[in-house]
Chains A and B, each alone.
Chain A
């Protein structure tokens, strides 16, 4: 028997295991998924928890429920991968041998990496919303907020779901307006990049969205520390941003066992070829989803499109054939903009987000780089698609590679 071991039962790991279970002969291959618990979280849903739209029951299912028959789920903490011996050691002493390994343990917010972030003010006046506990605590804090400075802050790129901080800001603006509090709350968006929109076409189309909503942008802000006592962010060049309520996106890092195993870069991301997702060091290790170092967005859509390419490649690779598929970095993300509207963006390694229609060229029903109600309905419907189509590995009638059909490329004069 040949053994495929998948580390991580999240979006990428679950899809990969399910798709391959349907394609690999059960008499020849075992498939095992390892995770530390049996809770699968629909992470895109965290965004709605601070505003009371979703609660914990909307975003949690059991992991084993989504794994196809013939896949073993092992619960345990990963201590390290021994790539030369082709085994994975768990912290409890168990050892799992493999012939092929897929690393899909994602990325995690690390508030411990910024001085002053964790401490007496953590989840008192300083919150994150990329964890369920953080999003729930923030919901309570927002209910108590009736005036002051609400600061939304990104520590450093890359972060998972890179549009979520902007979405949170737009939703907070709309939520405060609904409650009649918008005039009493100053809303500030702090980013290490040179603006909220950094891609030229998106900036041209959407650049005014923050000013229109009276949201102040603090660009080029590299945080050095948080002065929790005086409630302010302090940058390396000694700028200060005071806050009453801080919603921060901590530094994101891959799992620590990746570093212990000698497989990661400085942020514990597994170094892979960006078109095949094969480790640059070992010919039997792949990394899928947020865990890899590919220069694509860390997003479920990227994991999904990459997985489609990976599965066909993997079947060739294990037969000793060259891999013919090439992942293009395709991402497709909804961006909530408040008041029942959303944007949709579609892009890849080489093409920035452009206006147009999606998925059917010129028809839609979704509109790219434009605020519409249909896009918002698409975002809400996606949760159903995620649980029922995407995770089980059922085919979705969307091509894995980005298409230029239906996209409008601005001429150079524009």
Chain B
């Protein structure tokens, strides 16, 4: 797996830059990842990120936008405001989780 240096930390990533090691993630690192895609994290962002992290630990896959809305209580419209254009992908990137994917 390729690695990259973010904020002085060497982390393992896939070809698109998504982190591949759950345990290498930390909240300070998330701030740096957010900077990479032009986001300044607010409390609302953190609510979504923390939900995604804890849900991943229980489910073994990254929550869909629908699940974040129904189970995490964050409306989809708000996710689009917080993580413009591609909330599912951006949220997974910042949370250090695999992006949502299909079977091919």
Known contacts: A157-B64, A266-B67, A266-B71. The answer to whether A193 contacts B104 by CB under 8 A is no
Q: Hey, which chain A residues are within 8 Å of B103, CB to CB?
A: 162-163, 199, 297, 331, 333, 345, 347, 353
The yes or no answer to A220 lying at the interface (CB within 8 A) is: yes
Chain A min CB distance to B55 (Å):
11
Q: Hey, which chain A residues are within 8 Å of B88, CB to CB?
A: 192, 194, 220, 222
**Which residue, B14, B66, B89, B102, has most C-beta atoms of chain A within 10 A?**
B102
Contact residues on A (Cβ < 8 Å of other chain), bracket:
35 or more
The yes or no answer to A206 lying at the interface (CB within 8 A) is: yes
Bound CA–CA A157/B104 (angstroms): 13
- Among B45-104, those with CB < 8 Å from A are 59-61, 64-67, 70-71, 76-77, 79-80, 84-89, 99-104
Q: Hey, which chain B residues are within 8 Å of A333, CB to CB?
A: 103
A198, B102: Cβ atoms closer than 8 Å: yes
How many chain B residues touch the partner (CB < 8 A)?
30
- A199 touches which of B60, B77, B79, B101 (Cβ 8 Å): B101
B64, A237: Cβ atoms closer than 8 Å: no
Write the A118-129 contact mask toward B (1 if CB under 8 angstroms, else 0): 000000000000
The yes or no answer to A233 lying at the interface (CB within 8 A) is: no
Bound CA–CA A192/B86 (angstroms): 10
Give the residue name and chain of the B residue nearest to A369 (CB): B104
Bound CA–CA A335/B99 (angstroms): 23
Bound CA–CA A267/B65 (angstroms): 13
B89, A194: Cβ atoms closer than 8 Å: yes
The yes or no answer to A166 lying at the interface (CB within 8 A) is: yes
The yes or no answer to A274 lying at the interface (CB within 8 A) is: yes
A202, B104: Cβ atoms closer than 8 Å: yes
B76, A222: Cβ atoms closer than 8 Å: yes
Bound CA–CA A157/B62 (angstroms): 11
**Which residue, B65, B66, B99, B103, has most C-beta atoms of chain A within 10 A?**
B103
B77, A236: Cβ atoms closer than 8 Å: yes
Chain B min CB distance to A35 (Å):
27
Bound CA–CA A412/B99 (angstroms): 19
Give the residue name and chain of the A residue nearest to B81 (CB): A237
- Among A227-285, those with CB < 8 Å from B are 236-237, 251, 265-267, 274
- Among A264-314, those with CB < 8 Å from B are 265-267, 274, 293, 295, 297
Bound CA–CA A412/B86 (angstroms): 27
Q: Hey, which chain A residues are within 8 Å of B99, CB to CB?
A: 194, 198
Bound CA–CA A353/B102 (angstroms): 11
Q: Hey, which chain B residues are within 8 Å of A412, CB to CB?
A: 1-2
Given A192-B65, A198-B104, A353-B104, 17 extra CB contacts under 8 A: A156-B66, A157-B102, A162-B102, A163-B104, A192-B64, A192-B100, A193-B100, A198-B100, A199-B102, A200-B15, A236-B80, A266-B70, A266-B71, A274-B60, A295-B59, A331-B103, A335-B104
Pairs A–B under 8 Å by Cβ, sample size 27: A157-B64, A157-B102, A162-B103, A194-B88, A194-B89, A194-B99, A197-B102, A198-B99, A198-B102, A206-B104, A220-B85, A220-B86, A220-B88, A222-B65, A237-B80, A237-B84, A251-B66, A266-B66, A266-B67, A274-B60, A295-B60, A333-B103, A345-B103, A345-B104, A347-B103, A353-B103, A353-B104
Q: Write the residues of chain A forming the contact surface with B, with a CB cutoff of 8 angstroms.
A: 156-157, 162-163, 166, 191-194, 197-200, 202, 206, 220, 222, 224, 236-237, 251, 265-267, 274, 293, 295, 297, 331, 333, 335, 345, 347, 349, 353, 412
